[in-house]
Chains A and B, each alone.
Chain A
Amino acid sequence: MLHLILFLFFGAICVAGAVNLLVQSHPINSALSLIVVMASLAAEYLLLGAEFVAAVQVIVYAGAIMVLFVITIMLLNAGAEQHTKGSRVAILIGVPGALIGAVLVAWTLLTRGHTGSVAMGALPGSPQDIARLLFHEFLLPFEITSVLILIAIMGAVVLASRPEAIARRHTESHQPDPLPQERQPAPQLVGSGKEH
């Protein structure tokens, strides 16, 4: 019973956040509602017993990835969304299609699916158990994702730095660097990006 109440409570917050993301026109409001969704999802993970996943969800998703989004919005001074012509086809076909699909899936799951039920804290995912699995059975995927993220870091640095800044760095390396605010976006991930 307690489980159901808590599930519904955090689920309601989650749904409200997701809907708010769609309704708001200013990106910073959308970003904040996405943070709310992520935090309440962390609570849902805790209900399922996945405590380590919940902590990582808050630290990585809400505390790092979303900060990047907020920084970008602040940096580019993104204003409210203008409603241009849009891709009408996507809206006309996609929106009803997505809604119909969602209703079908929900109907199937709630009436036809004999899925059983889960208890509160059904599968305690302690850091020790997760580490054992991650570094034994999933070692290869783990290493591959580490290579992936390394490539992503380098890509972000290359994409976000100004071409003229790179050129100048090669020619006159003793020159003082441009203002730090000019190249905020990637640097937080990889370093100040002003190697001499």
Chain B
Amino acid sequence: MVPLSYYLVLSGFLFVCGVLGFLIKRNIITIFMSIELMLNGVNLSFVAFAAQWHSLSGQIFVFFVMVVAAAEAAVGLAIIIAVYRTRETLNVDQVNLLKL
């Protein structure tokens, strides 16, 4: 038996790592990976709650999150490639044409 809160703390830790990566990292690809990490953290708490409440809906939700993540990765990486083609950089600080 493992307390549910352990799972939630692990899930929260992964989410915070994702947030920190999103804030600290300057490479667009790594920023995208941080978003995936956040989604993974959320998935863990969905599955843990599903086990707690004996309802499969939590596990179903994980599939929807995965579909959204896949769509996001496909479009996001396509955008990254388009940006790289015009700007020749992956650093988010150098993609600043709209800045004053």
A contacts B: CB pair < 8 Å: yes
| Count of A-B contacts judged by CB separation below 8 Å | 248
CA distance A116 to B54 in the complex (A): 13
Interface of chain B, helix or strand or loop or mixed?
Answer: helix
- State how many angstroms separate the Cβ of A168 from the closest Cβ of chain B: 16
CA distance in complex: A49, B56 (Å): 11
**Given A45-B47, A81-B26, A118-B51; A37-B14 close (CB under 8 Å):** yes
CB distance from A50 to the nearest CB of B (A): 5
Pair B13/A15 contact, Cβ less than 8 Å: yes
Closest to B12 in A: A105
Instruction: Tell me which residues across on chain B come within 8 A of A11, comparing CB atoms.
Output: 6, 10
Q: Indicate if the CB atoms of A27 and B56 lie closer than 8 Å.
A: no
Q: Are B79 and A159 in contact (CB under 8 A)?
A: yes
Binding site for A on B (CB under 8 A): 1-10, 12-14, 16-21, 23-27, 29-30, 32-34, 36-37, 40, 43-44, 47-48, 50-52, 54-57, 59-60, 62-64, 66-75, 77-82, 84-85, 90-91, 93-94
